[in-house]
Chain A
């Protein structure tokens, strides 16, 4: 049996039935990566020795009837801004090319304790912001649906590796959409959890009050299984929330009858890919058919949310990288440098006004969520970008449809909802809800995926 596109839930079942073993799955996926990643560049570094050692331990434990959790014996990979003890963590940057952390990020400790199998470190945009870059030691990752296109960013390797069937799940990070964007354009699921739900300790910072770690997988059910292992309070992360972790799998009831969903159509009604609005409308009809009540809702413009988030981000990013930007600016990639150096000219009053504006925008979302159980919109405004080094940088000039829920710190999930006709590339639906309402988001996504098969379509890598 080829495990390439088995879900985490299916792997668990086959492990239970002794039809597959962790070592067998790990070897098969390592072979697949060796055969195909030369054109996708999703991995910066493979860790086959670590993977096989962890798989052997998992295999022995599972054979003895000891199951540590839903990721026991399950291969995964990490965006290369997540620190791993003894394994280089580069941030996809020349500056950290030789950086070997002494300790694991908190979430890596949880994955180890859960018996998961680390396959390697994944490509990102430089320090989770500057990309795609063609002037760094590693090439930008490519989209498995068509390597002439990019997999989005900044969790670019995570999106590509999961969509390509290299791993069933990966850890990404999301400050303004870096999990949801790659998930959207790679045709997989990606969750930005509530701010504070997953520890950021041991993960390179981007924007302190908007950095989130979360899973990318091929199904909503797998998101629930992955989140179960990495969610929880970390007293050593000042942003971590001391809130109980629910049983996410138990929230997947399959029923959404009577749920009230607010559709934020004005965010994608104009200027988006022409195939996107009809795809979202079709998804809405599926949800209505399942018993949800969907009504339109208005929030501030994407421009407002993008301006607010980006002002805060570049001020904080500049502070983080100031010393290196002043002393060795040429060592950064051009895109990172040109996105962060402007932070030098953000005045204190601009930064504070943006932080105050964030409160106003977040309250607007909280108010709407008193009337609705969840919000729906697109997961991306278009399909994947072509892999063209000469394309202009649109990070600031183009509004983002993922940033609003970063500003709100809300749980938000991107799942596939169709393909564009001209390019044959994935389109995506985004579902968000109130803080800590991940169970509601996952419940809606699972119901949708039980009624559709977009998430079961996979790229052919031949």
Chain B
């Protein structure tokens, strides 16, 4: 069984509004309602990410200092 966060209860509309405000989103009410409607799909997606990856698993981004110097 994979370890992820899918067992957590979905955020309520009020919780979503609070999280949005804390993230600096000051949306008009119509757009906030759209946001509250779409976030649960994204929340479920993020919670499906496995949390039991090997401790040494590297993130798939790279930092190559020579490239920064060249560009």
**Which of A's residues lie within 8 Å of B, judged by CB?**
208-209, 235-238, 303-304, 307-308, 310-311, 314, 325-326, 329-330, 334, 337-339, 341-342, 344-347, 350, 352-360, 362, 393, 396-397
Report chain B residues within 8 Å CB of A354: 49
A-B CB contact pairs (8 Å), 6 listed: A311-B49, A338-B38, A341-B27, A345-B19, A347-B46, A353-B49
- With A236-B70, A238-B67, A341-B35 known as contacts, the answer to whether A352 contacts B48 (CB < 8 A) is no
Number of A-B contacts (CB under 8 A): 98
Q: Which 5 A-B pairs have the closest CB atoms?
A: A355-B59, A358-B60, A342-B42, A344-B23, A356-B57
State A353–B61 Cα separation when bound (angstroms): 12
**Does B1 belong to the interface (CB within 8 Å)?**
no
State A319–B29 Cα separation when bound (angstroms): 23
- With A238-B71, A356-B59 known as contacts, the answer to whether A307 contacts B49 (CB < 8 A) is yes
State A156–B61 Cα separation when bound (angstroms): 28
State A29–B51 Cα separation when bound (angstroms): 54
**Does B8 belong to the interface (CB within 8 Å)?**
no
Contact B61 A209 (CB under 8 A): yes
Report chain B residues within 8 Å CB of A334: 34
Cβ-closest chain A residue relative to B46 = A350
Contact B39 A356 (CB under 8 A): no
Contact A341 B71 (CB under 8 A): no
Cβ-closest chain A residue relative to B26 = A326
Contact A209 B48 (CB under 8 A): no
- With A237-B71, A334-B34 known as contacts, the answer to whether A350 contacts B60 (CB < 8 A) is no
- With A337-B34, A344-B24, A345-B23 known as contacts, the answer to whether A350 contacts B49 (CB < 8 A) is yes
Contact A352 B59 (CB under 8 A): yes
Point out which of A334, A341, A358 has the most chain B C-beta atoms below 10 A from its C-beta.
A341
Report chain B residues within 8 Å CB of A308: 49
Point out which of B39, B49, B67, B68 has the most chain A C-beta atoms below 10 A from its C-beta.
B49
State A314–B61 Cα separation when bound (angstroms): 15
Q: Which of A303, A337, A338, A359 contacts B59 (CB 8 A)?
A: A359
State A355–B70 Cα separation when bound (angstroms): 25
**Does B28 belong to the interface (CB within 8 Å)?**
yes
Closest chain-B Cβ to A88's Cβ sits at a distance in Å of 26
Contact B23 A238 (CB under 8 A): no
Contact A330 B71 (CB under 8 A): no
Contact A235 B71 (CB under 8 A): yes
